[in-house]
Amino acid sequence: MIFYALDTDIVSYFLKGDITIIERMELEKKNGNKFIVPPMVYFEIQNWLLVNNSKKKMLIFEKMYSSHGIGVIDKSILDIASKITLRLQSKGIKIGDDVLIAAYCIKHNLPLVTNNTKHFKDIENLQAINWKE
């Protein structure tokens, strides 16, 4: 069994009814694999849905995370994120909040499903998978 962490864009595609993502998630579930929503992704999606007052998508999202789970940020994840940020800043690379998603995945050894692999390309020990390619 594989646990996949879902990036914000993948959850957004799912909520918008993207057939590629929906079919892939269904296939992975049939294969016994599971998904988790990293805490920063939960925050970004929840904020997007509240700003847009999207009650229908909110219900779909609630069902999604209640059946798959939401991760938790703890000190060890913040420590990993700080080290990643320092290493990237020393190379002149900015990453922003995506560092928390990456650190969560590294800490728990989870592949990150994202269509934004370029955001994560400079992060060592992170497996970023694109289901949209």
Position 44 scores a pLDDT of 93
Residue 8 has pLDDT above 80, yes or no: yes
Confidence of residue 63 (pLDDT cuts 50, 70, 90): confident
CA distance 58 to 76: 30
CA distance 77 to 133: 29
DSSP assignment letter at 37: B
Give CATH for domain 3-129. Answer: 3.40.50.1010
More confident residue, 105 or 67: 105
More confident residue, 97 or 127: 127
CA distance 91 to 106: 20
Residue 3 has pLDDT above 80, yes or no: yes
Tell me phi and psi for residue 49, to 5 degrees: -70, -40
Question: What is the average per-residue pLDDT within 103-112?
Answer: 96
Confidence of residue 132 (pLDDT cuts 50, 70, 90): confident
